Copies of this chain bind each other. A is one copy, B any other.
Amino acid sequence: MDRALEWVEDRVRYIDQTQLPLDTIIIETENYLEIAEDIKRLAIRGAPLIGVSAAYGIYLGIKNFSGFNKEDFINSFKTVSHTLASTRPTAVNLFWAIKEMEKTLNESIKLSIPEIKKNLLEKALYIHKDDIERCRLIGEYGNEIVPYKATIITHCNAGFLAVGGDGTALSVIYKAHSSGKDIRVYADETRPLLQGARLTAWELMNRNIDVTLIADNTAAFTMKKFKIDLAITGADRIALNGDAANKIGTYNLAIISKKHNIPFYIAAPLSTFDFCLKSGDEIPIEERAPEEVTEGFGKRIAPPGVKVYSPAFDVTPNELITGIITEKGIIYPPYSENIIKFKS
């Protein structure tokens, strides 16, 4: 399975991400409660993927409704969507997907129950397809800047495990690889939660792409010793001036890329842009629990009571970003002029 989730004959199949990178366990279910539980326990993770899963979950939750009373049907829909909405309280895409499904319900409300069900399935399939298509376009546009023979460095996980499609940064790598280019990847392990080691390395091996894992602090020396052509990462939020918040360590990577004259690209769908923010200084940065650093490997690695500074994200200033790869093309500096043109 080389996607995080698939829709197969009235059921979903997905990778249990809690078992990665050691075991690839595939779960197949038509039970929305199982999906809700699996979102909660992080077997399904990544904002876009959670959205897609919730949409399918709603359809699966109502598809066996056997009554004829539309009010009962609506109540059933509400129970299902409430259960799914309560899985991850801060997942924006989760609520967005549930609202999209509600819209479809409301638009179809005068139709027969079987017709409403059909429309809800179509909506879920559309949400999924749309995500796949955005990833595909990011891959296509991104591939334009990848040399025929390229060694690429990436940070954290911006691949198919987080989305319905192929990912963002990794979508570019997958597209370059599948178009016949000779691709090698260095993956930062990405402390503290090791998404690079656990997920990115696994994904790339799964797709038969040559990947080498490094500790985050090894990136600069790797750039000095080997020829690295490109750095590409995802982003969590991008301001109007191009400043980009992404997983902690991205700013670090951008600085050392600049030092070694390596182009540094961000790959992200347009939904990542926050057109209300003038600059990255306005992006709030979540601080994580100290234990993620001090006990991240299941074993305490620092003195009890030590103070820890553990921001989840950092902000890479626009001047370090060569270009931002979106599903509508690559945005280049000056960002303050060009980003706004991509607002749809």
Residues in A lying within 8 Å of B, measured CB to CB: 20-22, 155, 186, 188-192, 194, 197-198, 201-202, 205, 210-222, 224, 248-249, 251-253, 255-256, 259, 290, 293-294, 296-311, 314-315
A308-B212, A310-B214 given; A221·B248 CB < 8 A:
yes
Per CB-CB distance, the 6 closest pairs between chain A and chain B, nearest first, are A217-B249, A297-B297, A221-B314, A216-B217, A21-B303, A191-B215
| Cα separation A107 to B120 with both chains bound (whole Å) | 93
Q: CB-CB < 8 A to A192: which residues of B?
A: 215
Whether the pair A306, B189 counts as a contact (CB closer than 8 A) is no
| Cα separation A20 to B302 with both chains bound (whole Å) | 8
Given contacts A220-B255, A298-B298, 8 further A-B contacts (CB under 8 A): A21-B302, A201-B306, A205-B303, A213-B293, A216-B217, A217-B252, A218-B311, A221-B311
Q: CB-CB < 8 A to A214: which residues of B?
A: 293, 308-310
A300-B22, A302-B198, A303-B202 given; A251·B222 CB < 8 A:
no
Q: CB-CB < 8 A to A201: which residues of B?
A: 302-303, 306
The residue that A256 contacts in the complex, of B215, B256, B300, with Cβ under 8 A, is B256
Whether the pair A224, B251 counts as a contact (CB closer than 8 A) is yes
A215-B249, A220-B252, A220-B255 given; A22·B293 CB < 8 A:
no
Q: CB-CB < 8 A to A217: which residues of B?
A: 155, 188, 190-191, 216-217, 248-249, 252-253
Interface centre among A249, A301, A311 (most CB of B within 10 A): A301
Q: Return 29 A-B CB contacts under 8 Å, by A number.
A: A21-B301, A21-B302, A21-B306, A22-B303, A155-B217, A191-B191, A191-B217, A202-B302, A205-B303, A213-B290, A213-B294, A214-B308, A215-B248, A215-B249, A215-B293, A217-B248, A218-B252, A218-B310, A220-B251, A221-B248, A221-B314, A222-B309, A224-B314, A224-B315, A255-B256, A256-B256, A259-B259, A297-B299, A298-B299
Whether the pair B215, A216 counts as a contact (CB closer than 8 A) is yes
Whether the pair A213, B308 counts as a contact (CB closer than 8 A) is yes
Interface centre among A197, A217, A310 (most CB of B within 10 A): A217
Q: CB-CB < 8 A to A212: which residues of B?
A: 306-309
| Cα separation A214 to B220 with both chains bound (whole Å) | 18
| Cα separation A196 to B210 with both chains bound (whole Å) | 31
Q: How far is the CB of A14 from chain B (nearest CB, A)?
A: 19
Q: How far is the CB of A244 from chain B (nearest CB, A)?
A: 13
Whether the pair A293, B189 counts as a contact (CB closer than 8 A) is yes
Q: CB-CB < 8 A to A190: which residues of B?
A: 217
Q: How far is the CB of A318 from chain B (nearest CB, A)?
A: 14
Q: CB-CB < 8 A to A213: which residues of B?
A: 290, 293-294, 302, 306-309
Q: CB-CB < 8 A to A308: which residues of B?
A: 212-214
Whether the pair B307, A211 counts as a contact (CB closer than 8 A) is yes
Q: How far is the CB of A4 from chain B (nearest CB, A)?
A: 16
Q: How far is the CB of A327 from chain B (nearest CB, A)?
A: 28
Q: How far is the CB of A250 from chain B (nearest CB, A)?
A: 8
Interface centre among A251, A252, A253, A298 (most CB of B within 10 A): A252
Whether the pair A252, B189 counts as a contact (CB closer than 8 A) is no
Whether the pair B205, A191 counts as a contact (CB closer than 8 A) is no
